[in-house]
Amino acid sequence: MSTVDLPQLETLAIQLSATGVAELAFNRPQRYNALSPEAYKDWLKAIQWAASCDRVKVAVLTGRGKYYTSGQELRRPDLSAVGQDAQVRKLDVTKTLVDELIKFPKLLIAAVNGPAFGFGVTTLALCDVVYSVPHATFNTPFMKLAYCAEGCSSVLFPRIMGPSKANEMLLMGRTFTAEELERCGLISRIFPAENFLQTVLTIAEDCAKFSVDAMKITKELIRGIDRDLLLEVNAREMQQLLERMRSQNAIDTLNQFVDGVERKRAMKKAKPSKL
């Protein structure tokens, strides 16, 4: 693996093979690869680097540890002016990241190594190919948090999965298995958990032998027709998400969620040790 001139990021690990396969791995395994504000920034930097670096021919998104990503790191809402500004900046980063995924010019493969939640699920539809381990599960808990669809899932999920299954995912918060998503076309193939990442990287290495120009042109033919639509959808979703996050309904729901997490932690801490 080459390590020359690779971005050094806190929450995302990057490796680049000599043949041009960039592995972009969510790297907070102790937090189930939860997406903190810093993680969104790192993901954006990694995607922008992979898009612009001539040495990168194929990019593979994956996660370290047991999870692909547990989605947005949920914290108690900060209703101060500083907190409101931070919320806007975070959503600006998120919007830009989705824009960059929409415009990403090279082959982008997702290697889902474990459970995926929220933004980690919706952005799979922006990848060109999705592979998964058999035990991965997929959930978008937007309704439980009083949020709304994002990552262009409001358009891409119904198109890929069909309206009924997409509505189960986005409106009802049902957890899907990898097998279910393979049947409806969001996942291309399921590979055994053993040596899963190496299997995907081997496929990526084979693709890296192809003409980069031919890949870019063909991807443009496939994706280019939808670009303006998806950019517009992303902007609309982000505006709606900001409004939802600032609603009293969502604030109360998130506070209740955090209260529940804190109670569970306190009970676990107070539980007598068996040793």
Say which CATH number the domain at 138 has. 3.90.226.10
Please report, for residues 174, 180, 247, 257, 263, the alpha-carbon distance to residue 145 in angstroms, rounded to integers and kept in the order given: 14, 24, 11, 8, 18
Q: What is the pLDDT of residue 3?
A: 46
One-letter amino acid identity for 221? L
Q: Average pLDDT for consecutive 10-residue bins of the chain (275 residues)?
A: 75 97 98 97 98 98 98 93 95 98 98 98 98 98 96 98 98 98 98 98 98 97 97 98 96 93 85 66
- Residue 71 resides in a domain: yes
| 230 touches 152 (CB < 8 A) | yes
- Residue 3 resides in a domain: no
State how beta strands 116-117 and 129-132 pair: unpaired
> How many Cβ atoms sit within 10 Å of the Cβ of residue 30?
9
- Residue 5 resides in a domain: no
Number of domains comprising the chain: 1
Q: What is the pTM of this model?
A: 0.94
- Residue 32 resides in a domain: yes
Note the maximum CA span of the chain. Answer: 63
| Phi/psi at 136 (5° precision) | -65, 145
- Residue 221 resides in a domain: yes
Q: What is the pLDDT of residue 273?
A: 63
Q: How many CA within 13 A on the CB side of residue 246?
A: 15
* Length, in residues, of the chain: 275
- Residue 217 resides in a domain: yes
- Residue 7 resides in a domain: no
- Residue 111, classed as helix, strand or coil, is strand
Please, is 200 exposed, middle or buried when counting C-beta atoms within 10 Å of its C-beta (0-12, 13-18, 19+)? buried
- Residue 274 resides in a domain: no
Q: How far apart are the first and last CA of the chain?
A: 44
Distance CA 88, CA 81 (A): 11
Distance CA 250, CA 260 (A): 15
CA 194 from centroid of its chain's CA atoms = 22
Q: Which domain holds residue 54?
A: 12-269
Q: What is the pLDDT of residue 1?
A: 46
Q: What is the pLDDT of residue 274?
A: 61
